[in-house]
Amino acid sequence: MKTLLFVDDEPRVLQGLQRQLRPMHTVWDMYFLENGSKALEFMATRPVDIIISDMMMPGMDGSQLLTEVLRRHPQTVRIVLSGHAERESVLRLVGPAHQYLSKPCDADELRKAIARAFALRDLLENERLKQLTTRINNLPSLPALHSQLTEELRQDSPSMERVGEIISRDIGMTAKMLQLVNSAFFGLAQPISTPMDAVTYLGLNTIRSLALSMAIFSQYDQKTCKAFSLDALARHSWITGKLARTVAQVERQSTQFREQCFLAGMLHDTGQLILAFELQDEYAAVISQARMQNVPLWQAEQQSFGASHADVGAYLLALWGLPNPIIEVVAMHHQPARCAAAEFSPAVVVHAADVFAHELSGAETEVTPPPLDTAYLATLGFAERIETWRDACREAIEP
């Protein structure tokens, strides 16, 4: 049975949660505690799968508690359940919390968020990868973009457009912005799927304090994994996003669909960044193994870790609460036929764009380029379209 721990200093809130979640007691083992120290004491005695904490509490607040949980029990999923008045202070939690829910939260919404987090934990089977991914609270950024952003934000009147443009070129910054704006905390009816919209929505002042005082973006140290180049990955991701948008355009898809394709293309290889950053030497060995055996990188990862960068990336972004269509693309970009619905979707588009990006720009990231699943494209009725897509992509790349 999965274990859940709720922490809130108001007894009324705890009682309410207890009542709302009573029907779940046959499947979840639930505990309700009134402060952070009790929660930490409890966690020292038994493993907890998900902790759901209030934000404003006397003594140890939610931010301090979750930071400590992150340090002592990195495998635990961390969710904040907080009131709207506390919006500013919740921003401090961008690091230690995976997701934010706002109070009052109806039982159904809460049950769904918890069930989704549990389902995710079963998605990635490798315990070690699960643990190291759950521990991550931000993805490193390209040093050049990081300093461009800092410089722009230090100006007297920074340009919103320029800030959005810099963020949209970086995998880590893009993922973080979307995690933040898509949290249930902000109560958006429609998920935001472009970094530019995220910047506009949060406003420059908030972004400035997140980036400058709270340092939510960190820089990548090229020395961490020598066989891996974040520069090359960033270039490849940007081109894949651009080509995905091109293919969607050729198929006359809506603006929203096209932007989703761009974003998903930008994030599709997030897992590579995680593995290079967290496993360093081990990942360098996998890269050279792929090179020696002449197999796509994801297959070599599968052999060594029992999971690929697609699984790891999808797990992290899902944990961060990014919109479902994006997660599906990240998870399925090498094997779109595994998608639940056999239809023309961003997953199909990004799969093709990824392959074209390798063909057309000779990306150095994946040693043996991933093959195009032409059989699957044919079952969807797009066999005749492949050459048209490729031509449009070639045009989009060559100036």
Contact set with Fe ion (CB under 5 A)? 269, 354
**Least Å distance between CB 269 and Fe ion?**
4
Distance CA(272)–CA(10), nearest Å, equals 42
Q: How far is the CB of 349 from Fe ion (least distance, A)?
A: 13
3-state secondary structure (DSSP) of residue 394: helix
DSSP H or E run through 303: helix 297-305
Helix (H) or strand (E) holding 33: strand 28-33
| Distance of closest approach, residue 333 Cβ to Fe ion, in angstroms | 6
Torsion sign over Cα 267, 272, 273, 278: positive
For Fe ion, give the closer residue by CB, 121 or 334.
Answer: 334
The residues with which 51 forms a beta bridge, in sequence order, are: 5, 78
54 or 354: CB nearest Fe ion? 354
The structure tokens listed for 37 are: 């120290």
Least distance in angstroms from the C-beta of 336 to Fe ion: 12
Torsion, Cα 208 211 214 218, to 10 degrees, reads: -170
Tokens of 390: 């490729």
13: Cα within 13 Å, side-chain hemisphere? 21
Nearer to Fe ion, 92 or 358 (CB): 358
CA dist 216 and 316 (Å) reads: 16
CB of 206 to Fe ion, least distance (A): 32
CA distance 149 to 147: 5
Nearer to Fe ion, 269 or 311 (CB): 269
Give 198 or 363: the residue with its C-beta nearer to Fe ion. Answer: 363
Q: Is 225 helix (H, G, I), strand (E, B) or coil?
A: coil
**Alpha-carbon gap, residue 267 to 284, rounded angstroms:** 21
What phi, psi does 165 have (nearest 5°)? -65, -45
Give the nearer residue to Fe ion in terms of CB position, either 14 or 386. 386
Residues 277 and 139: beta-carbon distance below 8 Å: yes
Q: How far is the CB of 12 from Fe ion (least distance, A)?
A: 48
| Closest distance to Fe ion from the beta carbon of 362 (Å) | 13
CB of 27 to Fe ion, least distance (A): 35
CB of 304 to Fe ion, least distance (A): 15
Cβ atoms of 93 and 126 closer than 8 Å: no
CA angle 99, 101, 102 (to 5 degrees): 150
Task: With CA atoms as reference, report the closest residue to 348 among 314, 321, 315, 382.
Answer: 382
Q: What are phi and psi of 254, to 5 degrees?
A: -65, 160
CA-closest candidate to residue 304, choices 322, 287, 324: 287
Q: Which is nearer to Fe ion, 149 or 393 (CB)?
A: 393
Q: What minimum distance in Å lies between the beta carbon of 127 and Fe ion?
A: 23
The alpha carbons of the chain give a radius of gyration, in whole angstroms, of 21
Give the residue among 38, 45, 42, 51 at the shortest CA–CA distance from 6. 51
- What is residue 370's DSSP assignment? P
Smallest distance from Fe ion to CB 39, Å: 38
Q: Which lies closer to Fe ion via its Cβ, residue 48 or residue 297?
A: 297
